[in-house]
Amino acid sequence: MIEKVIASVMAFCGISAFAKDAEGKSILTEDQKQKLADKYGDKFVAAFQQDVKAYESNGKHADGKEVKEAAIINAAEQNKNAKELQEARDKISALEQSNREKDQKIASLEQEECPDGGQQLAGGKKGDMNKKFKADMNLAHNQYIAAAMKGASYGGNSTIETGELQTEFGRYVSSDKYEIFTSLVGTTESLEYMTTMITDKFEVRASQAAITSVLQSFVPAWTPKGKTTFTPLTIKQYPMKINVSIIPSDIIDQVLGYYYDENLTPEDMPIVKYIINVLVKPLLDEERETAFAIGEYKEPTKGADGKYQANEANQVCEGYVTQLRKIKAGGNKEGVTFLLEGTALGEGNTLLDNVDKAVDEVKAKYKKKKLFVHADPDLITRYSRAYRNKYPNTKNQDGDKVTIDFTNFTFAPLEGMRGTGAFFITPKENFRHIMSRDPKNMNLRMSTVDYEAKVYGEWREGVGFWIAEAIFAYLPPAAQAQSQGL
């Protein structure tokens, strides 16, 4: 350590050797002492001189071989640090440039016209996202609700002016546009078990190979043995939207009841926030969950009147169970491992035995991983009851967690799979959710016609699997699935 310090001082002073006293010992010149003191202080100079004296008292030299080697190491480390520092600066510069380009793109998109009517909302200025929205108490509907909450009568017109509501909706959404959107289309039950990818591509596929083996005996030639053993699956991103029609005067009593129950005020939750959080979000969460699991995409069609007909919620995308069914029906050219082919799971001990047989079919390299068995909640309930009946004296130490004995697998009930009788095992990194990052596709706005308020929202997303060989799925036999109406 002392050699590196000595070498650093010599480099700082610009010398290759120290001056010597009458006894041949290394010393600092007055100029060198002053230069060091100006940089590091007098205490450092005094301590350094004592260290050099002690170092040379052991028969070593302050400008000897060891110190020169230390100087080489110091120089190498400085070059490495300088390179890393420059790389970090380059990355920061690139990131700043990317952020500037992104801000310019968002600003440009905010100026574009909205093609389907409704009110175009600005995304808000940078830094506005965290500002708390304040309801405009000059608007008639807020005055009416505030008076009702206080038990007072309101002398003005109790009819909600939809134009005022639309104005407040625009202000509310623009104040926290991103947060509101991510709340509406945020994490559902099944998305907690997926890896989310943000991309503007309409389709994504795995592009990296899985290597099966690399170790081999030495021979003096290039003999690669790793082979790609994966089939990339295509995950599609689908355009989705919400169209919600509300007559505000019809929900005024619901709003008041909610405010009373939750001890809120109009300032804390304006009626537009109630519309989004209470009327739209819960139903949207439920329908997205179902669509992600058993959805089967249907192209929107026009009716006899030439207008598009709204398709069902489970027709907006291809769900992950639907994808597995279609792979199996197509002859499984992709290579998914389907468990217990043609076997009904049954009930009681038969169910327990069949689940054990199913997990035994999982490839060895996945058995050591802690994985989830994504399953129909009804199936998990049946399994848990069968296990309790077989082992009535066994207490579940894991609470609501249902594990499969002698494995690293834990059941994960997904509400969207309810009634399918299916389950599948795959790593989280193989179970994917994709979503657009383009702010242009994150629209939420309101338009009004007479006494009616219409809420519009558009985005893109989809779910699926990355690699076929990492999926281990059980689908009930066709006759059983048909009896369940699937």
Question: What does the pLDDT read at residue 297?
Answer: 93
Q: 413-430, pLDDT tens digit by residue?
A: 999 999 999 999 999 999
Contact 442, 459 (CB under 8 A): yes
Residue 300: CB atoms within 10 Å: 11
Q: What is the DSSP code string of 187-223?
A: --TGGGGSEEEE-S-SEE---SPPB--------SS--
Residue 81 has pLDDT above 80, yes or no: no
Q: 39-75, pLDDT tens digit by residue?
A: 788 888 888 888 878 877 877 777 777 777 776 776 7
Contacts 24+ apart (CB under 8 A), 153-157: none
- Backbone phi and psi for residue 433, each to the nearest 5 degrees, phi listed first: -125, 125
Q: 288-341, pLDDT tens digit by residue?
A: 999 999 999 998 888 788 788 878 888 999 999 999 999 999 999 999 999 999
Q: What mean pLDDT comes out for the span 129-154?
A: 71
What angle do helix axes 65-110 and 2-13 make, rounded to 10 degrees? 70
Q: How does residue 214 score in pLDDT terms, banded at 50, 70 and 90?
A: low
Q: How far apart are the first and last CA of the chain?
A: 73
Residue 245's nearest CA partner among 456, 458, 454, 443 is: 454
Both structure tokens of 33: 């002492």
Residue 147 amino acid letter: A
Residue 458's nearest CA partner among 300, 309, 244 is: 244
Question: What does the pLDDT read at residue 169?
Answer: 86
Element (DSSP H or E) covering residue 338: strand 337-338
Quote the percentage of the chain above a pLDDT of 90: 28
Alpha-carbon span 325 to 473, nearest angstrom: 10
Alpha-carbon span 345 to 484, nearest angstrom: 14
Residue 169 vs residues 23, 110, 161, 253, 436: alpha-carbon distances, Å: 88, 17, 12, 19, 24
The model's pTM: 0.65
Residue 94 vs residues 74, 99, 100: alpha-carbon distances, Å: 30, 9, 10
Question: What does the pLDDT read at residue 158?
Answer: 56
Q: What is the DSSP code string of 35-53?
A: HHHHHH-HHHHHHHHHHHH
Instruction: Name the β-bridge partners of 197.
Output: 434
Pairing assessment for the beta strands 472-474 and 423-425 based on DSSP bridges: antiparallel
Alpha-carbon span 318 to 411, nearest angstrom: 23
Contact 432, 463 (CB under 8 A): yes
Average model confidence (pLDDT) for the chain? 80
Q: What is the DSSP code string of 417-434?
A: GTTS--EEE--GGGEEEE
Question: What does the pLDDT read at residue 125?
Answer: 42
Q: 232-274, pLDDT tens digit by residue?
A: 899 999 988 888 888 888 888 888 888 777 777 777 778 888 8
Residue 204's nearest CA partner among 426, 467, 424 is: 467
Both structure tokens of 64: 């000897």
Contacts 24+ apart (CB under 8 A), 361-370: 361/337, 361/472, 362/337, 362/425, 362/472, 363/337, 363/472, 366/425, 366/427, 366/470, 366/472, 367/407, 367/408, 368/408, 369/408, 369/427, 370/408, 370/409, 370/410
Residue 358 has pLDDT above 70, yes or no: yes
Alpha-carbon span 163 to 161, nearest angstrom: 5
Q: How does residue 354 score in pLDDT terms, banded at 50, 70 and 90?
A: very high
140 or 217, greater pLDDT = 140
Residue 143 has pLDDT above 90, yes or no: no
Quote the percentage of the chain above a pLDDT of 70: 80
Of 207-216, 338-347, 393-402, the range with the lowest mean pLDDT is 207-216
**CB burial of residue 199 (10 Å; 0-12, 13-18, 19+):** middle
Question: What does the pLDDT read at residue 115?
Answer: 40
Residue 176's nearest CA partner among 137, 128, 241 is: 128
Q: 168-195, pLDDT tens digit by residue?
A: 888 888 777 767 777 777 778 888 999 9
32 or 354, greater pLDDT = 354
Alpha-carbon span 324 to 321, nearest angstrom: 5
Q: 360-388, pLDDT tens digit by residue?
A: 999 998 999 999 999 999 999 999 999 99
Burial 131-147 (b: 16+ CB within 10 A, else e): eebebbeebbbbbbbbb
Question: What does the pLDDT read at residue 63?
Answer: 74
Q: How does residue 154 score in pLDDT terms, banded at 50, 70 and 90?
A: low
Residue 208 has pLDDT above 60, yes or no: no
Q: What mean pLDDT comes out for the span 387-410?
A: 83
Of 28-32, 133-137, 335-339, 445-449, the range with the lowest mean pLDDT is 133-137
Question: What does the pLDDT read at residue 121?
Answer: 36
